[in-house]
């Protein structure tokens, strides 16, 4: 019984580590306010921690309302050290970023500023559904 419990605990630990290791990555950019007039909610205000998504995540509009935890991983251009160490932000999908979209996520400027220096303009991020 004791060996089975240890085996079960190890399996749970490995699964937790694997799910963390496989977070999706892509580029994130930002857009300036106002954040209303969106593809998902037209003129409804959904706050400042919002994002538009590219075709990769749009899912024919079913992405509306989905939430992602986003963390800056590294710069995506020549800006030196744009990431705010350890910072993450939770955002809600409210819009569609039409092609040519420069990122998988088109974060509100407020959300982008939580995880990175806005001077960078574009960063590599890790994102997970919440």
| Residue pLDDT, tens place only, 35-89 | 989 999 999 999 999 999 999 999 999 999 999 999 999 999 888 899 999 999 9
91-108 average pLDDT score: 94
| Residue pLDDT, tens place only, 1-36 | 556 655 545 554 445 444 455 689 999 999 999 998
Helices then strands, counting H and E runs in the chain, come out as 3, 6
Q: Is the dihedral of CA 79, 85, 87, 91 positive or negative?
A: positive
Q: Is the dihedral of CA 36, 25, 18, 116 positive or negative?
A: negative
* pLDDT band with cut points at 50, 70 and 90 for residue 104: very high
- pTM value is 0.81
State the virtual CA torsion across 57, 107, 82, 89 in degrees, nearest 10.
Answer: -90
Q: How many CB atoms lie within 10 A of CB 97?
A: 22
């Amino acid at each position: 019984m004791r060996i089975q419990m240890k085996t079960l605990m190890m399996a749970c630990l490995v699964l937790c580590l694997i799910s963390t290791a496989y977070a999706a990555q892509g580029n994130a950019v930002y857009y300036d306010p106002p954040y209303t007039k969106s593809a998902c909610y037209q003129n409804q205000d959904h706050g400042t921690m919002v994002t538009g998504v590219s075709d990769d995540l749009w899912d024919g509009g079913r992405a509306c309302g989905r939430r992602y935890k986003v963390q800056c991983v590294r710069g995506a251009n020549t800006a030196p050290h744009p990431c705010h160490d350890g910072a993450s932000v939770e955002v809600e999908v409210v819009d569609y970023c039409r092609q040519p979209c420069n990122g998988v996520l088109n974060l509100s400027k407020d959300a982008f500023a939580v995880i990175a220096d806005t001077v960078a303009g574009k960063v590599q991020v890790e994102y997970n559904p919440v």
